[in-house]
Amino acid sequence: MTNVVSFDQQPWHKKTAALDALSALVADDVVAVNQLIVQRMESRVAIIPRLAGHIIAAGGKRLRPILTLAAAQLCGYQGQRHLKLASCVEFIHTATLLHDDVVDDSDMRRGGPSANALFGNEASVLVGDFLFSRAFELMVEDGSIDVLRILSHASAVIAEGEVLQLATTNDSTTSEQAYLEVVRAKTAELFAAACRIGAVVAGRPSSEEEALRTFGLNLGIAFQIVDDVLDYSAAQERLGKTVGDDFREGKVTLPVILAIHRGTEAERGFWKRTLDDHEQEPSDLAHAQDLIRRHNALEDAIARAQHYGAIARDALGLFPAHPVKQALLDIVDFTVEREF
């Protein structure tokens, strides 16, 4: 935990710097992927590229496609197929974001109005379907049945994870295991697939495919846990970032689960009222943050994330030294050391 505490003092930009460093190593590919994305979201139906462009252009970090590009480079891949497959990964991710915002009835996404707020839920559902179908068309063009198997399975698991999340929302009795299963399915599976297909496209042995899958899966779990931590972080609030979205939506995430399990009956009553019964007063978020702080729930959630980060780090052990390998390790470090 000392690690975390010390990083609490670190400047904010270290985290994005790690992603920037990885991104720089695959810079030409990122440009090509961005072009491909714009090209392939075209449709004779004008609202489709407008809506898709809104969310795709809205400053996403492109983390998932960058993982595909980086994994391919780490595997020594020399061709062009990874560009199309990285675009697929981003299309699948974008489709799930569009449907997520509809399911959550979100007005905001990445600090701007969400697509459903601007274009309506109907269009968001359907453009999500379009992007999803387009992703499969791109995979079919690529022609690898292995890639198709990996990404169609990941897509089904993501959908299962989202449904599972619905069942845990507004249920303060959600177990840590159920939470982990949701995180693994809705977030980590696509990270795993994005990394894995870098090895598949390079025709590397299954040990490297498995190593990259392990890396992606565990990075994804760590990433989501930290994301859930930041939603209650006072440091985030000081930086002017939105906090409390999960609380307002009644999502039962790891900081809350830890606070509930360590709390008194009265505290559990508070969580039940605010999360399950959705009766929230303006002062409730601050009280929730206070309970979470009192039970050390953010630190300990980060400790859990560090466990998955360690698995991710070790997974890369079988790859020789390489700038991309180092950048991937740095991504892990800065993910689990995000200040809160």
Q: Which residues are near its own copies by CB under 8 A? A: 43-45, 47-48, 95-96, 99, 102-103, 120-123, 125-130, 132-134, 136-137, 139-140, 143, 145, 148-149, 152-153, 155-156, 158-160, 162-164, 166-167
Q: How far is the CB of 126 from its own copies (least distance, A)?
A: 5
Q: How far is the CB of 73 from its own copies (least distance, A)?
A: 26
Q: Is the dihedral of CA 229, 93, 189, 310 positive or negative?
A: negative
Of the pair 119, 247, the CB lying nearest its own copies is at 119
Q: How far is the CB of 165 from its own copies (least distance, A)?
A: 9
Q: Is the dihedral of CA 118, 123, 126, 127 positive or negative?
A: negative
Of the pair 74, 123, the CB lying nearest its own copies is at 123
Of the pair 154, 230, the CB lying nearest its own copies is at 154
Residues in the chain: 340
Of the pair 237, 276, the CB lying nearest its own copies is at 276
Q: How far is the CB of 47 from its own copies (least distance, A)?
A: 6
Q: How far is the CB of 161 from its own copies (least distance, A)?
A: 8
Of the pair 100, 231, the CB lying nearest its own copies is at 100
Q: How far is the CB of 245 from its own copies (least distance, A)?
A: 16
Query: Phi, psi (5° rounding) for residue 108?
Result: -125, 150
Of the pair 178, 311, the CB lying nearest its own copies is at 178
CB count, 10 Å around CB of 8?
A: 15
Q: CB-hemisphere CA count at 13 Å for 155?
A: 23
Burial status of residue 243 (CB atoms within 10 A of its CB: 0-12, 13-18, 19 or more): buried
Q: How far is the CB of 203 from its own copies (least distance, A)?
A: 18
CB count, 10 Å around CB of 24?
A: 11
Of the pair 181, 330, the CB lying nearest its own copies is at 181
Of the pair 34, 43, the CB lying nearest its own copies is at 43
Q: How far is the CB of 337 from its own copies (least distance, A)?
A: 33
